[in-house]
Structure 1
Amino acid sequence: MFVSYKWLQDYVDLSGISAAELADKITKSGIEVEGVEKKSEGLKGVVIGHVLECEQHPNADKLNKCLVDIGAGEPVQIICGAPNVGKGQKVAVATVGAVLPGNFKIKKAKLRGEESNGMICSLQELGIESKLVAKEYSVGIFNFPQDAVVGEDALSALGLDDEILELSITPNRSDALSMLGVAYEVAAILGRDVKWPETDKEEDAEEASDYISVTVEAPEDNPLYIAKVVKNVKIGPSPLWMQTRLMNAGIRPHNNVVDITNYILLEYGQPLHAFDYDRFGSKEIVVRRAKDAEKITTLDEAERTLTSEHLVITNGNEPVAIAGVMGGADSEVKEDTTNVIIEAAYFAGAVVRKGSKDHGLRSEASARFEKGVDPARVREAGERAAKLMAEYAGGTILEGIVEFNDLRMEPAVVSITLDKINSSIGANLSADQVQDIFTRLQFDVKTENETFIVTVPTRRGDITIEADLVEEVARLYGYDNIPSTLPVGTATPGRLTDYQQKRRIARRTLEGAGLYQAITYSLTSPEKAAQFSLEQSDSVRLAMPMSEERSQLRLSILPQLLEVIKYNQARQIDSLALYEIGSVFLKQGENQLPSEREHVAGILTGLWEAHLWQGEKKPVDFYVIKGVLEVLFDSLGVKNKITYRQAAIKDMHPGRTAEVLLNNEVIGFVGQVHPTVQKDYDIKETYVFELSFKALAEVEVEPISYQMIPRFPSVTRDIALVVDKEKTAGELESIITEAGGVLLKEVHLFDLYEGERMEAGKKSLAFSLKYFDPERTLTEEDITKAHDKVLHAVKEQAGAVLRS
């Protein structure tokens, strides 16, 4: 909403307050002012001139040589290229030394051998947007009315010395979409009165009802329709002051009748429409819903097809306007119009929005109807328009109005106590202060034992409950004046729970290891619901699934991750590393919500590392994905509680799959997807893991302990053990660790041998053992004693013998 500071002074006394100060006060009271613009900022030296002579330039076909009186001494010669310049015109002249938009300075010049002392300006050259310039001046210079005073400031005459406040109106404050609405707001802020426009007028003895009748067949859409008739109008330009106010508000001038309806729209916030009475087609106005496939040609010359959801104004036979949206071309006010019907109506916002949206016709009028207009102003707006048409179009107003009135809209009455207001805003206002605020807002208010009974005028349709009155008091009292207090009581600083912290650590660790996070559907198909599931449970089916592919709650994350791999590999993205931490759902019983369990799952395929320049390629294998898990367990502090056990799991490769155990309890698995499953998904060799994150996050972890950097040397011993092929390295490592006692600090497997020199059914596993005591240097006797215990244990518990 663009608000003219000068225009606003017609309704509110703004003496002693600048436009910038007013903008600040309006913003602080709850309506944001996005900016204040002075159109003539930086411009100077433009005056009204009178073209005394005009002839063609002797050396140029498209230039004119003009003699112009600029009100300062002798007339000056100006060369002008505008096609519409002519003798006797009053024009805007940028004198020598003038500054125009873009810091364009006017100097004396010679054009094709003729001297030019200034520039005759178009409105565009003075900074007015082309879309706001009246059509007759869209190409060429602007002509002032003949009563314009030569030598006066042209910028002032064009309203460019005005300051324009741009208000950002929220949807609930439709009352501020008019000059009078803003005037009420400003008057309340400043504690001043609002002056209403004059509507007194002379009416002819002829009755308007003799010329037109009004019938409304859809009263729920149009409860109030008023028609005024003005005869013998003379179509012409509207007065310059009205044109400038319209342009400053972002509306292009057309002619006096149309401009008056737009002027009232801005002044009252009430959209009006003017019909050419003689082109209307009948003496009756009928408002109804359109018939399906009914057609109308609107003012923009477009033929539009209507439906029964659109409200139309008709002449009893055919539509002449889409109600609240746009008029029809057949009844448009034109240059030869002499008799006018003024429409002032209250249309329901929903039906106007439907018509506006369906036909793509968003307008200033439709926007106001959609948000809600003040029903109390409909009649006054029509009377004001008739007065202005009589004054500026020479029309004769017929007596009375023709109306349909089924409007039942009473002012809202809301009660609130002083205690409620003070407790809500945290202030200590007196009853007199609150009473004064309601009075400044021009609300009728009665007080009964510190209870305010407020009758809200219909222009403020946004106020219906106690909270709305609290807001009005708070903003008029001043948000800056409300005392600020700190909360009282004990406060616990916000922090992540241990579970949340571990989830965050897990995400950062996996992403640091090179995996990207995926978020997949929790819904899947019956075939995939239980695939790879860790817990045995029936899947939960949705009561109303949208499709069979998304009908079951998942029991495992991996099927969805396999779909992601399939999707990407089909698009030639072969190397992927993804993880997801999400919920699976276990059935609890009939008519019970499922139990949610959080899992962490990962999937890797393709190349893990690729240094092609150096000829290095490292494809993903079992040990890569197991290494990712080792890093995850280490970051969560559970690495020493984890063991692995070879396992046969459905849909997993039988020789490349292991169960993951936490404190000897299975919490998931890691390994390669079975080749048949890879073929079903049409993917390449893929490795996966899925674990119960709940088990990982809830296990008790020993606090981190720190040790001094050792001052004493460690001793390393390597052993190669011959064992049965069925024995696993993990089993032997556990035996060695337990037998080695406190001196054995590290155990690493570094070799596996199953060659020709090894007897059938046997294999050799080589381990490196590091012994260390932080308090002293170990002797050979200490090392031998501990090492012998290890050799004895592996022999007794695993049948291992030292390889010679």
Structure 2
Amino acid sequence: MLVSYKWLKDYVEIDDLSAADIAEKLTRSGVEVDAVQSLNEEITNLVVGKVLTCAKHPEADKLNLCQVDVGEEQPIQIVCGAKNVGEGQFVAVARVGARLPGGMKIKRAKLRGEVSEGMICSLQELGIQGKVVPKKYSEGIFNFPQEMIPGEDALAPLGLDDTLLELDLTPNRSDCLSVLGVAYEVAAILGRDVKVPEPALVPAKEKASDRIAVHVEANGDNPYYGATVIKGVKISESPLWLQTALMNAGVRPLNNVVDVTNYVLLEYGQPLHAFDLDRFGSEKVVVRRATEGEQIVTLDETERTLTGEHLVITNGKSPVAIAGVMGGATSEVNDETVNILLESAHFSPSTVRKASKDLGLRSDSSIRFEKGVDPNRVAEAGKRAASLIQQLAGGEVLSETVEFDELSREEKRIDITLAKINDVLGTSLTETDVTNILSQLKFNHDYEDGTFAINVPTRRQDITIKPDIIEEVARLYGYDNIPVTLPNTSATPGGLTTEQRQKRRARRFLEGAGIHEAVSYSLTTAEKEACFKESEGLRVNVALPMSEERSTLRTTLLPHLLDALSHNKNRNVYDVHLYEIGSVFHTKEKTITTQPEEKTYLSGAFMGLWHEHSWQGEKKPVDFYVIKGVVEGLLEELHVSGEVRFEQTEKAGLHPGRTATLFINDKEVGCLGQLHPAVAKAWSLPATYVFELNLQQLLSLPANVVRYEAIPRYPAIQRDIALVVDEAVQAEKLKRVIMASGGRLLSRAEVFDVYQGEHLEEGKKSLAFSLKYQDPEKTLTDDEVTAVHTKVLQALEEKTGATLRA
């Protein structure tokens, strides 16, 4: 909700406070202001000019030479390329030296040999969004709809001398979806009065009931319908003050009648609709539920099919509007309209919400009806709109609005004790304190025997129970003034769960290794994940996705990490290492009837250099062993128990020769490897390495108990062996055999060399291991080491066929 500071000043006295001060006070009282935007912050030296002459540029068909009066002795020449510039127009001129939004600075220039001493501006060039600019000025320059004084400041008439407050309203505060509602809130905070506009109607002798009748069949959905008839209006462009008020609020001006209905919607929070009475189709308004399959073409020129749950305004035969949502195209106000039927009604929030959701049609009107409008403002808003239409479009307002009225306008009564208020807030407020707050809120009340009897005004639809009253007292008293106390409870202090602690350990380790955390959406598309799936499995699709790119729950974290790498690479950032801890979702059902299985994964993606020492000229690119080392370090940090092994494998989306699966106690818990070149090309990435671990499964494993050992007092003996094996035999398998047969004296076995080629048979390779033997209690002899070493060699030959290389 955008609220104009200048417009707000029409209803509450705030001249002594800036827009920033108002924003601060609103935010502190619970109505959050997201932003304060000064519309003239970037604009300087903008004046009104009058185009005296306009001729074609002698050297350019698409340019015009304009002599413009800017209030000086002599006119200035401006070269303008707008098609709609013409003689006699009053325009906005940026003089030489002026600044415009976006940092544009206007300089004296020469265009095709002709001097240009400024710029005639369009509204978009002045920072006004194109979607709210009147269609007449959507292309080309803006010209004022009335006579102006050349040379005067153009900011004020364009409404650019204003400041906008952008409110981030919670769903319950529908009262602040209007300028009057915000005025009541500001007045309550400041303890001031609200000036409500008084409609100035001059009704004709003819009665509206002579021209129209109202019949409501669905009175539960529409307890009030008011029809005002205005004859003899003249449709034209709205005055500038009305256009600028609407544009600043984010609404595109159309014509003087429609603009008035939008203005009153923003002012009162009450949606209105104007029908062309001559094109309405009858002299009878019938409000009913639609029939199944009934159709209507709405104002956006879209044909919509209705159901029996939708409420429509009809002429007794066919629908002319979807109640509370949008009007129909057949009866819209246009340039030929002379007579108007002005609708001011109260529709059921649930009925409007149903139609808006079913039809995918959300409007400013439906938003307000869905949240509930003030029943005591419905008729008043209609009178206010009729008064403004009469002022701006002329015509006669027929007397006595035709009404169907079964609307309850009673105020809700809430009784609450002073003791209850103080008990909940932990305060010591007196009767006077609370009375003053209720008076500021304009809540009528009585106080007797320690109890407040409060009548809540109907504009505050959000206040229905006692805690709501307590909240209002707290807001106006000031949250900062409520004393801070510790809870009076015997509960034990909270703490982290084991899983939370382990996740923090994982984050600290990865970030300590120089890997940055990424956070991405849980929603993706099946196509984006297709390269990482062997086959198209079952997925969890979103029923009403916000976009096609967010239509299904993810089953892997890798695609979004690759998106992040690609984003950086496209901006010349090549050395990027990312990880993410997040949820993935799997299902075994074609039709989802139960919650999908949610798992926590830890994934990483690396590209570019892992280490660079510019002074020594050392550069180490990321490779398989870098990510393998990261994964091994992570397992150590988490104290994962059990047998850990990496086994070469093939995985969809990964390089077939540079990929491994991680097993712990013979259970697969993840994989790591290089991205397949075809996949890397799809993301426009260089050589990229990734890993993905089932963190939930890892954290469920029992943790190793950390034990400390004394520094060895006795020396170790090292033996190196070179083993000839089939090239398909993995070093991991040999290492497991060596460690299993080495017993307690063998403390370590590491691969330090691999060889294939000359002096070896075809299909064979040589793997060299370094074995470390050590006894913590004594110095080992050669005979003791030889006995164990021989046992190791025998086991290798028996279980793997390995022989010592000659």
Cα distance change, pair 277–419 in 1 and its aligned pair in 2 (3 A) = same
CA contact (8 A) 2:108 2:118 kept: yes
Q: CA deviation at 1:139?
A: 1.5
In the alignment, structure 1 residue 451 sits paired with structure 2 residue 451 = yes
CA contact (8 A) 2:215 2:285 kept: yes
State how far apart, in whole Å, the 1-side matches of 2:389 and 2:460 are. Answer: 29
For residues 303-337 of structure 1, give each alpha carbon's deviation from its aligned partner in whole angstroms, at most 9, with x where no partner exists: 22111121111000111111111111111111111
Corresponding residue SS for 2:156: helix
Q: Which residues of structure 2 form unaligned runs of 5+? A: 509-537, 539-587, 600-627, 632-640, 652-656, 669-696, 718-742, 749-772, 785-806
2:185 equivalent in structure 1: 185
2:225 equivalent in structure 1: 225
Corresponding residue SS for 1:154: coil
Corresponding residue SS for 2:270: coil
CA contact (8 A) 2:265 2:271 kept: yes
Q: CA deviation at 1:80?
A: 1.8
State how far apart, in whole Å, the 1-side matches of 2:346 and 2:396 are. Answer: 25
1:64 equivalent in structure 2: 64
1:368 equivalent in structure 2: 368
What TM-score, normalized to structure 2?
Answer: 0.66
1:270 equivalent in structure 2: 270
State how far apart, in whole Å, the 2-side matches of 1:360 and 1:252 are. Answer: 21
Cα distance change, pair 174–705 in 1 and its aligned pair in 2 (3 A) = closer
CA contact (8 A) 2:643 2:665 kept: no
In the alignment, structure 1 residue 279 sits paired with structure 2 residue 295 = no
Cα distance change, pair 52–603 in 1 and its aligned pair in 2 (3 A) = same
For residues 323-369 of structure 1, give each alpha carbon's deviation from its aligned partner in whole angstroms, at most 9, with x where no partner exists: 11111111111111111010000111122122222222211111111
1:161 equivalent in structure 2: 161
In the alignment, structure 1 residue 479 sits paired with structure 2 residue 506 = no
In the alignment, structure 1 residue 211 sits paired with structure 2 residue 200 = no
Which residues in structure 2 correspond to 1:499-514 (within 5 Å)? none
1:202 equivalent in structure 2: 202
For residues 370-408 of structure 1, give each alpha carbon's deviation from its aligned partner in whole angstroms, at most 9, with x where no partner exists: 111111100000000000011010121100110111213
Q: Which has the higher mean CA deviation after the structures are superposed, 47-56 or 184-193? A: 47-56
2:427 equivalent in structure 1: 427
In the alignment, structure 1 residue 349 sits paired with structure 2 residue 349 = yes
Cα distance change, pair 114–746 in 1 and its aligned pair in 2 (3 A) = closer
Q: Which has the higher mean CA deviation after the structures are superposed, 135-144 or 247-256? A: 135-144
2:382 equivalent in structure 1: 382
2:141 equivalent in structure 1: 141
Cα distance change, pair 419–74 in 1 and its aligned pair in 2 (3 A) = same
Corresponding residue SS for 2:471: helix
2:559 equivalent in structure 1: none
Cα distance change, pair 128–694 in 1 and its aligned pair in 2 (3 A) = closer
What TM-score, normalized to structure 1?
Answer: 0.66
Identity across the alignment (%): 57
CA contact (8 A) 1:63 1:80 kept: yes
List 4+ stretches of structure 1 deviating above 3 A: 486-506, 546-552, 600-610, 616-621, 624-629, 693-697, 703-715, 745-750, 769-774
CA contact (8 A) 1:373 1:459 kept: yes
CA contact (8 A) 1:714 1:772 kept: no
For residues 163-193 of structure 1, give each alpha carbon's deviation from its aligned partner in whole angstroms, at most 9, with x where no partner exists: 0000001110000000000000000011100
Cα distance change, pair 409–48 in 1 and its aligned pair in 2 (3 A) = same
Corresponding residue SS for 1:353: helix
1:129 equivalent in structure 2: 129
Corresponding residue SS for 1:366: helix
Paired residue total = 594
State how far apart, in whole Å, the 2-side matches of 1:61 and 1:548 are. Answer: 64
2:236 equivalent in structure 1: 236
2:326 equivalent in structure 1: 326
State how far apart, in whole Å, the 2-side matches of 1:182 and 1:20 are. Answer: 15
State how far apart, in whole Å, the 1-side matches of 2:481 and 2:328 are. Answer: 53
For residues 213-259 of structure 1, give each alpha carbon's deviation from its aligned partner in whole angstroms, at most 9, with x where no partner exists: 00111111111110101111000011110100000000000000000
State how far apart, in whole Å, the 2-side matches of 1:452 and 1:11 are. Answer: 29
Cα distance change, pair 28–53 in 1 and its aligned pair in 2 (3 A) = same
CA contact (8 A) 2:101 2:126 kept: yes
Cα distance change, pair 57–377 in 1 and its aligned pair in 2 (3 A) = same
Q: CA deviation at 1:156?
A: 1.4
2:85 equivalent in structure 1: 85
State how far apart, in whole Å, the 2-side matches of 1:110 and 1:503 are. Answer: 65
State how far apart, in whole Å, the 2-side matches of 1:551 and 1:284 are. Answer: 49
Cα distance change, pair 339–748 in 1 and its aligned pair in 2 (3 A) = same
Corresponding residue SS for 1:375: coil
For residues 724-752 of structure 1, give each alpha carbon's deviation from its aligned partner in whole angstroms, at most 9, with x where no partner exists: xxxxxxxxxxxxxxxxxxxxx968999xx
Q: Which has the higher mean CA deviation after the structures are superposed, 26-35 or 118-127? A: 118-127
Q: CA deviation at 1:133?
A: 1.0
State how far apart, in whole Å, the 1-side matches of 2:505 and 2:15 are. Answer: 64
For residues 19-71 of structure 1, give each alpha carbon's deviation from its aligned partner in whole angstroms, at most 9, with x where no partner exists: 00110000000011001101111211111111222222333322222222111
1:590 equivalent in structure 2: none
Q: CA deviation at 1:293?
A: 1.4
Q: CA deviation at 1:130?
A: 1.2
Cα distance change, pair 297–601 in 1 and its aligned pair in 2 (3 A) = farther
State how far apart, in whole Å, the 1-side matches of 2:502 and 2:303 are. Answer: 65
Which residues in structure 2 correspond to 1:405-554 (within 5 Å)? 405-487=405-487, 492-494=492-494
State how far apart, in whole Å, the 2-side matches of 1:694 and 1:320 are. Answer: 63
CA contact (8 A) 2:289 2:311 kept: yes
CA contact (8 A) 2:208 2:399 kept: yes
Q: Which has the higher mean CA deviation after the structures are superposed, 111-120 or 167-176? A: 111-120
Cα distance change, pair 549–252 in 1 and its aligned pair in 2 (3 A) = closer
State how far apart, in whole Å, the 1-side matches of 2:50 and 2:291 are. Answer: 56
Which residues in structure 2 correspond to 1:735-754 (within 5 Å)? none
2:570 equivalent in structure 1: none
Q: Which has the higher mean CA deviation after the structures are superposed, 135-144 or 203-212? A: 135-144
Corresponding residue SS for 2:148: coil
Letter of the structure 1 residue corresponding to residue 189 of structure 2: I
State how far apart, in whole Å, the 2-side matches of 1:220 and 1:324 are. Answer: 14
Letter of the structure 2 residue corresponding to residue 89 of structure 1: Q
Corresponding residue SS for 1:245: helix
In the alignment, structure 1 residue 399 sits paired with structure 2 residue 396 = no
State how far apart, in whole Å, the 1-side matches of 2:323 and 2:591 are. Answer: 48
Cα distance change, pair 242–501 in 1 and its aligned pair in 2 (3 A) = closer
Letter of the structure 2 residue corresponding to residue 58 of structure 1: P
CA contact (8 A) 1:714 1:773 kept: no
CA contact (8 A) 1:91 1:142 kept: yes
For residues 479-529 of structure 1, give each alpha carbon's deviation from its aligned partner in whole angstroms, at most 9, with x where no partner exists: 1111222346777444579999999999x9xxxxxxxxxxxx9xxxxxxxx
Which residues in structure 2 correspond to 1:529-678 (within 5 Å)? 607=648
Corresponding residue SS for 1:143: coil
Cα distance change, pair 59–445 in 1 and its aligned pair in 2 (3 A) = same
Letter of the structure 1 residue corresponding to residue 144 of structure 2: F
Q: CA deviation at 1:713?
A: 9.4
CA contact (8 A) 1:89 1:146 kept: no
Q: CA deviation at 1:608?
A: 8.9
Q: Which residues of structure 1 form unaligned runs of 5+? A: 509-520, 522-545, 561-575, 579-599, 611-615, 630-690, 716-744, 751-768, 784-804
State how far apart, in whole Å, the 1-side matches of 2:305 and 2:229 are. Answer: 30
Corresponding residue SS for 2:265: helix
1:295 equivalent in structure 2: 295
Q: CA deviation at 1:93?
A: 1.2
State how far apart, in whole Å, the 2-side matches of 1:306 and 1:251 are. Answer: 27
Q: Which has the higher mean CA deviation after the structures are superposed, 77-86 or 340-349? A: 77-86
State how far apart, in whole Å, the 1-side matches of 2:380 and 2:275 are. Answer: 19
Cα distance change, pair 432–695 in 1 and its aligned pair in 2 (3 A) = same
State how far apart, in whole Å, the 2-side matches of 1:336 and 1:241 are. Answer: 24
State how far apart, in whole Å, the 2-side matches of 1:215 and 1:252 are. Answer: 33
Cα distance change, pair 620–415 in 1 and its aligned pair in 2 (3 A) = closer
1:316 equivalent in structure 2: 316
